[in-house]
Amino acid sequence: MNLLLILFSVLTTYAHSVFHTEASVVAQSPAWSETVTGLPACSNAVDSVIAYVQLDPVRLSEWAFAGMGHQEDTKRDAVYLVWKESTYDADARHSTIQFDILVNGVLMFRNVRVESIVRDSVYAGGRDIWVDIFYSGSLLKQASGVFHLLPQTDGTVRITMNTDIRFGWFFNIFITRKVFRETIEWRLERFVQNIALEAQGTRPSDDYWRRRDDAQATTKKK
């Protein structure tokens, strides 16, 4: 039984033009034990994502962004990013990524550049990883995210991602709370679920989420 599909939550609040989202999931695996704990597996999954962003963003589509691409429900694609390239300064832990932005299927912004720094802290029984975005042109006024990896007493690991996003003037007008929920919130939730799946040893894929979404849609119709 895959408890990942049950033990997850996502909540977005909005205040002072900032969208704060907390997405949380409990990861577990029969392969984990008292000697081989889940924390290294979850840390490795997060580290892989960070490495992809810094060095080879195309590889994010292999599993980290599985099920998050173009959707049949066009409301989910009202805002869509097309990743292009990235550079990374290992000494400064400073990465720059570049992408295009489509709004309702129309290319609105080309070669948007986002610069960020990653830092982390390991402590007794857990790990935190921060991503601070300090330049994003007109896209964002501010943005940051932090992963909390916290082992539980039952051998599982709770993965929580908190993000704070404040858009620039154009997107601040366009992205209402409803649009944020339909286009961004569910992708943040799925991103955390993909990390948990990878840590559990079940690599997510577009097909996995297609079958999962179809099953949910069938259940709702009953």
The answer to whether the beta carbons of residues 32 and 155 sit under 8 Å apart is: yes
pTM of this prediction exceeds 0.75: yes
Task: List, in sequence order, every residue forming a beta bridge with 126; answer none if it has no partner.
Answer: 123
Would residue 9 count as lying in a domain? yes
Q: What is the CATH number of the domain that holds 128?
A: 3.30.530.20
pLDDT in tens, 154-205: 778 899 999 999 988 878 888 899 989 988 999 999 999 999 998 888 889 9
Would residue 216 count as lying in a domain? no
185 to each of 149, 166, 179, 190, how far by Cα in Å? 20, 14, 9, 9
Would residue 121 count as lying in a domain? yes
Residue 148 structural domain: 3-211
Calpha distance 61→82 (Å, rounded) = 11
Q: CA angle at residue 87 from 86 to 91, to 5 degrees?
A: 145
Lookup: tokens for 36: 């081989």
Model confidence at 6, pLDDT cuts 50, 70, 90, reads: very low
Would residue 197 count as lying in a domain? yes
Would residue 221 count as lying in a domain? no
Question: What percent of the chain clears pLDDT 90, i.e. is strictly above it?
Answer: 23
Calpha distance 106→146 (Å, rounded) = 31
Q: How many domains does the chain have?
A: 1
45 to each of 76, 186, 190, how far by Cα in Å? 26, 20, 14
Would residue 148 count as lying in a domain? yes
Would residue 68 count as lying in a domain? yes
Lowest mean pLDDT across 3-12, 13-22, 114-123: 3-12
